[in-house]
Amino acid sequence: MKQTKTKTVDRGQVGIGTLIVFIAMVLVAAIAAGVLINTAGLLQTQAEATGEETQQQVSDRIQVQSATGDVTDDAVTDVTITVTKSPGADDIDLEEVTFEFVTDDDVQTGVVEEGMIDFITADNEDEDVITDQSDRYQISFSNDEFGDGAEEDNLDPGDNVQLTLTTAAGASTIEELRVPDSLVDRSAVSL
């Protein structure tokens, strides 16, 4: 009898176990993709909000047109500034604006109040909101705002004052005010 050698062929078979592992891998990949897409959506929303807030902090500024001071007894007792909104700014509610006066000896901060605001040219005369770039409002500060209200807090000839106006969006405008060297026989001066 002749013995024949049989050749065995290796064949791969897909079993139920392999199928389960394959389906599990597909499910894990799908869940991971869903998490990544959800995270990307949240990051996009947060980035848009941050970008909008940053834009407001840059553009929602007050623009100072002029500054004057009332002179009493050779000292400036009241400061009046004329303001509008910067180009590209949204509406600015003046009653939400904070101010900071920095003099050589003092720092005074506060919030602009209704009694300090007067309109010059504005469509909304009843509201203290700058809605158009052509709107002009005056904000008046007495020595109560840039000092403690005492006579020694008046601004003397040659004094320098730094006024910072910050809107509700967080945009700041810094204005340097300088009292002229001579106030003799003057009732008002440009600062």
Instruction: Give 107's contacts (C-beta < 8 A, 6+ positions apart).
Output: 100, 101
Nearest to 162 by CA among 176, 142, 179: 176
Please say if the pLDDT value at position 161 is more than 60: yes
pLDDT in tens, 41-57: 888 888 888 777 776 66
pLDDT tens digits for 71-82?
988 889 899 999
Residue identified by tokens 């407001």 is 56
